[in-house]
Amino acid sequence: MGIWIDTDMGFDDIAAILVVAHSSLLIDGVSLVSGNAPLTQVRANAASAAAAFDWEFPIHTGRELPVLCKLETAQHILGQSGISTTGKSLPPVGELPASDAFTALCDWLEDGTERKRILALGPLTNIAALALARPDLTTRIDELTWMGGGVTSGNHTASAEFNAFADPEALAIVLAHGLPLRMVDLDICRKVLARPDDVDRVRQVGGKNAELLGDLLGGYVNIATSRGRLAMAIYDPTAAAIFIAPEIARIQHARIDVELQGQHTRGRTVVETRASHVEFNAHFAAEIDAEKARAIV
Ligand code: BDR
Ligand code: CA
């Protein structure tokens, strides 16, 4: 059975796609969204990654702007391309063929009878657009695993995780339409870490991309080490690991809401696990076997 990936194509997105591509899951399609960088750059990253890693699945162009707010990227942390490096960068290649993600996603959801699984690794703009325009099709989605949100804290701001902050209205729409959200948040991803010695491990794996992957992982780990931390959370690949092998996590039912108003808390995900207080509307990964996750990513 094939799956769908929605992504803003930074380094950890690429790593997550490589993890899925090396699993038994078949990638039917990928949709791109602005996030780590603006959509033009995300498209360029996707074209380069597809060429470097011999990806054969179709890659479609999604939404350029969030549902309501202005675009705020992570380029101030990740650099202009949204992908840091200590040496080699992804070689630039030509444009991706123009192909509309909304149409492709609708066609995929309409095709066949099996229930569909989506892995979302960026702001939820494309999925919200689907929910608004084709709510009938969202019932075909069996699972929407999303790297985003923070149960106890944020990273883009003190309150909000980046993917939630970048388009909180999209997350609110996804929740309001009852999509089967399975949130893999910051707290869980921070249990699965990449350290400087992992960079050498990647280089030693060999193969035509070992040096490139080592340099890109080095750039990614530097984001943390240059700020005095010992290791970097492997965000999107952790969501991919749970998507591939849900048994490595304890998935908990909860009420998840997103703050849309707060001056200092916009984009914060609010997770309530007391069934006596609220009606549950989503799931989140409450615990993870970090060793098993690292063995997958
Ligand atoms: C998330 O934000 C992006 O920068 C990463 O690719 C990841 O999806 C982490 O907050
Ligand atoms: Ca991402």
**pLDDT tens-digit map of 104-156:** 999 999 998 888 999 999 999 999 999 999 999 999 999 999 999 999 999 99
Give the C-alpha separation, 208 to 261, whole Å.
Answer: 48
State pTM to two decimals. Answer: 0.97
Q: Which of 119, 190, 236 to mutate to test the pocket of ligand 1 (most atoms within 8 A of CB)?
A: 236
Q: Are strands 269-272 and 249-258 parallel, antiparallel or unpaired?
A: antiparallel
The string of DSSP codes covering 45-110 is HHHHHHHHHT--S-EEE--SS-SSSPP--SHHHH-TTS---SS--PPP--PPPP-BHHHHHHHHHH
Contact yes or no for 161/154 (Cβ under 8 A): yes
Cα 260 to chain center, whole Å? 21
- Residue 145 is predicted with a pLDDT of 98
CA 213 – CA 68 distance, rounded (Å): 36
Position 1 pLDDT exceeds 80: no
Q: What is the pLDDT of residue 277?
A: 85
* Residues 155 and 253: beta-carbon distance below 8 Å: no
Instruction: Give the Å distance between the CA of 122 and the centre of ligand 1.
Output: 6
ipTM: 0.99
What is the number of the ligand 1 atom nearest to the C-alpha of 121? 8
Distance between CA atoms of 205 and 185, rounded to whole angstroms? 29
- The four Cα atoms 172, 269, 10, 119 give a dihedral, to 10 degrees, of -60
**Residue 147 Cα: closest atom of ligand 1:** 8
CA–centroid distance, residue 163 to ligand 1 (Å): 6
Answer with the residue of higher pLDDT: 61 or 96. Answer: 61
Write the pLDDT tens digit of every residue in 13-42: 999 999 999 999 999 999 999 999 999 999
76: nearest Cα among 68, 65, 84, 88? 84
Contact 261, 170 (CB under 8 A): no
Pocket of ligand 1 (CB under 6 A): 10, 12-13, 36, 74, 121-122, 147, 155, 161-163, 235-236
**Distance of CA 47 to CAs 28, 42, 54, 103, Å?**
17, 9, 10, 20
Inter-residue contact 88 to 128 (CB < 8 Å): no
Q: Dump pLDDT digits (tens) for 161-177.
A: 999 999 999 999 999 99
Q: Each residue of 245-274: pLDDT tens digit? A: 999 999 999 999 999 999 999 999 999 999
Atom of ligand 1 nearest to the CA of 11: 6
**Ligand that comes closest to the CA of residue 7:** 2
**Ligand nearest to the backbone CA of 6:** 2
Give the whole-angstrom CA distance, residue 24 versus residue 95.
Answer: 29
Query: 94 pLDDT band (50/70/90 cuts)?
Result: confident
Out of 6, 7, 9, 12, mutate this one to test ligand 1's pocket (max ligand atoms within 8 Å of CB): namely: 12
Mutate to test the pocket of ligand 1, among 18, 75, 151, 163 (most ligand atoms within 8 A of CB): 163
CA distance 243 to 231: 23
DSSP state letters, 187-233: HHHTTSEE-HHHHHHHHHT-STTHHHHHHHHHHHHHHHHTTT-S-EE
Indicate the residue type of 79.
Answer: G
* Ligand 1 atom at minimum distance from 12 CA: 6
Q: From the CA of 36, give the closest atom in ligand 1.
A: 4
3-state secondary structure 136-185: HHHCCEEEEEEECCCCCCCCCCCCCCHHHHHCHHHHHHHHHCCCCEEEEC
Task: Please state, for a pLDDT cut of 70, what percent of the chain lies above it.
Answer: 100
